[in-house]
């Protein structure tokens, strides 16, 4: 995903896999999870999930809440574990086709205290209706300049993984959307909690933003809020449970 997905910090144990043995590649099987911050499982139900049709995609991602203009760079700064963190997101001119769909390749790099900690290629495409689909990621975690983990990597169409949706064309409050379909590897979901939020970050004040909470059954104690604002996409990421990340948009560079 455009910023670090929750699944990238999860080390899945055999016990956890046993506890989540349902078929998570089927959207209709995703409705009974009890998720952080919600008292009723009915509030987690996935409904009206669009049908994936590889022939129904357009060349560019233009959804107002998640636009991906080629060549754009977004820079975020904040903290993680009380250390300074910088996230650099590049919407690249790279080419890749997944399940017959040409996807937009986004490079996301995370620097903690000036050191590269994570490097991820994310893959997105938009259907004709305007929904932005997420086709997976190639992610690597680093220590002392060396790759130490690729946990969370997956590609739709391989090993049971399917494409999820990162942003719907008509989001609704309370709506739950599976963003990732990679059983035992990446199972992030998002619940819309506001459609007209205002948020201030170093880059400025944004209005008419979508606020949603994102979570994963692979790490039940983790919960984060993200703000998606018109014309930009993600401007704020904040762990509210089970983490320490707090970053905001500081700069947008268009080429």
The per-residue pLDDT for range 63-98, each reduced to its tens digit, is 999 999 999 999 999 999 999 999 999 999 999 999
**Closest residue by Cα to residue 201 from 106, 88, 75:** 75
Residue 255 pLDDT: 84
pLDDT score of 43 more than 60: no
Residue 48 pLDDT: 82
Q: Is the pLDDT higher at 22 or at 126?
A: 126
Judge whether 242 and 37 are in contact, CB under 8 Å.
Answer: no
Q: How far apart are CA 139 and CA 110, in angstroms?
A: 11
Instruction: Give the torsion through C-alpha atoms of 142, 144, 146, 148, to 10 deg.
Output: -50
pLDDT score of 199 more than 70: yes
Residue 40 pLDDT: 35
Residue 47 pLDDT: 64
Q: How far apart are CA 237 and CA 249, in angstroms?
A: 9
Residue 46 pLDDT: 67
Reduce the DSSP state of residue 35 to 3 states and report it.
coil
Q: Which stretch of 35-39, 182-186, 222-226 has the lowest confidence by average pLDDT?
A: 35-39
The per-residue pLDDT for range 168-193, each reduced to its tens digit, is 999 999 999 999 989 999 999 999 99
CATH of domain 6-253: 2.40.360
pLDDT score of 28 more than 90: no
Residue 78 pLDDT: 98
Give the containing element (helix H, strand E) for 161.
none
Residue 79 pLDDT: 97
The pTM score is 0.83
């Amino acid at each position: 995903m455009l910023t670090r997905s929750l699944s990238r910090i999860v080390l899945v144990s055999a016990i956890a896999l046993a506890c989540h043995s349902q078929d998570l590649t089927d959207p209709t099987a995703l409705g009974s999870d009890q998720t952080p911050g919600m008292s009723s499982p009915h509030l987690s139900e996935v409904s009206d999930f669009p049908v994936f049709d590889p022939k129904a995609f357009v060349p560019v991602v233009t959804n107002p809440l998640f636009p991906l203009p080629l060549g754009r760079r977004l820079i975020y700064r904040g903290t993680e574990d009380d250390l300074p963190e910088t996230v650099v997101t590049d919407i690249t001119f790279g080419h890749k086709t997944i399940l017959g769909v040409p996807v937009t390749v986004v490079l996301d790099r995370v620097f903690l205290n000036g050191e590269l900690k994570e490097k991820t290629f994310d893959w997105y495409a938009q259907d004709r209706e305007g929904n932005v689909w997420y086709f997976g990621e190639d992610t690597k975690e680093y220590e002392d300049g060396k790759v130490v983990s690729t946990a969370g990597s997956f590609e739709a169409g391989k090993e049971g993984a399917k494409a999820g949706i990162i942003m719907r064309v008509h989001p609704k409050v309370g709506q739950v959307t599976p963003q990732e379909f990679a059983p035992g590897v990446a199972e992030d979901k998002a619940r819309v909690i506001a459609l007209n939020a205002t948020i201030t970050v170093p880059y400025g004040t944004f209005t008419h933003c979508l606020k949603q909470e994102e979570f994963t059954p692979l790490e039940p104690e983790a919960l984060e809020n993200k703000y998606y604002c018109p014309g930009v996409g993600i401007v704020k990421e904040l762990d509210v449970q089970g983490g320490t990340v707090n970053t905001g948009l500081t700069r947008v560079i268009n080429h």
